[in-house]
Amino acid sequence: MGKAKLSNEPEREIARPQELAYPLIRQGLKDTSFWLSIRGSAEEKIYIRRSQRLLNDLACMCERNPNFYPPPSNDQDWNKVLQELLAAIMVAGNARGRILGKALPRLAELLAPEHQKQTTKNANDHLAKIEAFLDRVNQEAGERITKSDIWRVAGYKGPTEFQRYQRNDARTTVSAKSRFDALLTVNPTEFIRRLQAKAKRR
């Protein structure tokens, strides 16, 4: 048997998540600038600007001290800013219907705690369910409906509960979740009938 060749190359250290994050933070700043240049809702722009400010804060933490590059995952300041950033990205993405750019979702996937990754997955599932329902009603019933029509038919006077449901917010009530889950399985023709009945009552 031949002897295995020994390599003289030093072993490479595996990069920590924070080290992988820094390039994504820099790219995320470019993505948010592009996002702001596109027409969007007032709420969307508020959270994009907040995301921009928080990305700047994370970049400064990485750059402030070469011996502390980047902050360890147990650093309280880093984690506080990171959690605010992930929440702002999610709200802005829900307002538009998707997160623009590639860096921001990759950053969230890389750095979010496991429980938040599950929350993000559930939020994506809710959003996909809503979009599929809109497409189904538009195609099968021949009616162009919006997300506003969904929360109105569900019996709400404003979008708050629906927006919480859409992003899988912890504040979503059991009753709101049950109501929207059930409504999103309704036959398109029946949904249009309920929508028209609501319009007549106004």
Question: pLDDT averaged over the chain?
Answer: 79
Within 10 Å of residue 60's Cβ, how many Cβ atoms?
11
* 5 part of a folded domain: no
The region, left, alpha or beta by phi > 0 then psi within -120 to 50, assigned to residue 142 is: left
Using DSSP, state whether 12 is helix, strand or coil. Answer: coil
Whole-angstrom distance, CA of residue 202 vs CA of residue 198: 7
Asked whether residue 41 falls in the same domain as residue 71, the answer is yes
Statement: residue 5 has pLDDT above 50:
no
Among 199, 173, 177, residue whose Cα is nearest residue 130: 177
Q: What DSSP designation does 191 have?
A: H
Range from 79-83, 108-112, 125-129, 153-157 that averages highest in pLDDT? 153-157
Is pLDDT at 188 greater than 70 in this prediction? yes
Residues 105 and 131 in one domain: no
Range of the domain at 48: 17-112
Asked if residue 108 is part of any domain, the answer here is: yes
Least confident of 43-47, 76-80, 93-97: 93-97
When pLDDT is cut at 50, 70 and 90, the band that residue 155 belongs to is very high
Show contacts of 66-69: CB within 8 Å, 24+ apart.
69/19, 69/22
Amino acid at 101: G
Burial class of residue 139 in the structure, from the number of CB atoms within 10 Å of its CB (0-12 exposed, 13-18 middle, 19+ buried) = exposed
Which amino acid is residue 122, in one-letter code? N
Residue 83 placed within a domain: yes
**Last-in-domain residue among 112, 141, 174:** 112
- Angle 140-145-151 from CA coordinates, rounded to 5°: 120
pLDDT digits (tens, 9 = 90+) for 92-148: 887 777 788 888 888 877 776 654 555 555 555 777 788 888 888 988 888 888 999
Whole-number pLDDT of residue 10:
45
Most confident of 4-8, 59-63, 73-77: 59-63
Give the tokens for residue 38: 């596109």
Q: 148 and 185 share a domain?
A: yes
What mean pLDDT is predicted for residues 163-179?
83
Burial of 186 (0-12, 13-18, 19+ CB in 10 A): middle
Judge if 106 and 162 occupy the same domain: no
Where does the pLDDT of residue 4 fall: very low under 50, low under 70, confident under 90, or very high at 90 and above?
very low
Phi, psi angle pair for 11, to nearest 5°: -65, 135
How many structural domains comprise the chain?
A: 2
